[in-house]
Amino acid sequence: MQPEDDLKSRIEAALVRGHFTQWQRQFLLDMRDRLVKYGPRTRLSAKQWAKLYEIIGPAPPNANASPQSRSDRPPSSPRWQTRRWRSPLAREARYLAARFARTFGIALALIVGSLIYSFIIRGGHVTWPSMPSFARSGGSEWVPLARTQFTITDGDTIRLNGAAKGTRLVGFNAPESIEPRCDSERDLGRRAKARLKELVAEAKLELKMVPCSCPAGTEGTDKCNYGRRCGLLFADGRDVGDVLVSEGLAVSFVCGSTSCPPTPRPWCG
């Protein structure tokens, strides 16, 4: 096994068995994606190495065969590795602050770009930036959605550009690919995620935001669907959930107006 493959496997194993803060989980996902993309050409800073080994455990004896140059490897001193980032609360605060700054910057860039376009190209008639209309109107109607306006988190979850949380697609439940309960769920979860990417790749997409099935006054908070919004996604006129269910990659999951039954997870027996 190549060193980068071994490290990627250790990260995935940690994601399955560990309980992390949002910052730690996103950090591990970013490191895994970087290893997948660059393989043996992956380069990490000394700080990133130290943080990675702090989360997943000390490096094995053959860690010197890392997928990057020797100059970027973390110092061998345990004291250096534990001196910084002592407080999980401080890490989480820095992570949330960075996300807020990034989201604010994207929104500001869109507004400035719209103003420039309006006054130079359209003769002074101000228009909204090119972003999903439900981000402005509250999402009570079907709106067209471009593939470049969101990323796919899992077989039943997407994240709109600039959104702090994902959007849970309702009416079905897909197996988990990030925190599966068994190997068969992990494999099926990856297939469901890949299939969703295929469905939206070239299709005409429409999204409708709907109320989540939560007690009144909790939507938008962690007490309701982990802070995620809820929606329906259609590709070429078909609900993507119906397609995944019909292909055995998801199961039907219908909630009431303020609560849901136990989440169906039949993949581990």
Domain spans, the chain: 3-83, 87-130, 134-268
Instruction: Write the single-letter amino acid at 160.
Output: L
Alpha helices in 121-145 (DSSP H): 134-137
**Domain 134-268: top CATH class:** mainly beta
pLDDT per residue, tens digit, the chain (269 aa), is 457 778 888 888 888 877 778 888 888 888 888 888 888 888 888 888 888 888 888 766 555 444 544 444 444 444 434 444 456 667 667 777 877 887 888 878 878 776 776 555 545 444 444 445 454 444 568 999 999 999 999 999 999 999 999 999 999 999 998 889 999 999 999 999 999 999 999 999 999 999 999 999 998 899 998 899 999 999 999 999 999 999 999 999 999 999 999 999 999 87
Closest to 2 in 3D by CA, of 40, 44, 33? 40
Phi and psi at residue 175, to the nearest 5°: -65, 150
* CA 152-3-79 angle, 5° bins: 95
Q: Take residue 260 and report the two structure tokens written for it.
A: 């849901």
d(CA 180, CA 7): 19
What gap in Å lies between CA 50 and CA 214, rounded to an integer? 40
Among 138, 168, 140, residue whose Cα is nearest residue 231: 168
Residue 212: what are its φ and ψ, rounded to 5°? -75, 155
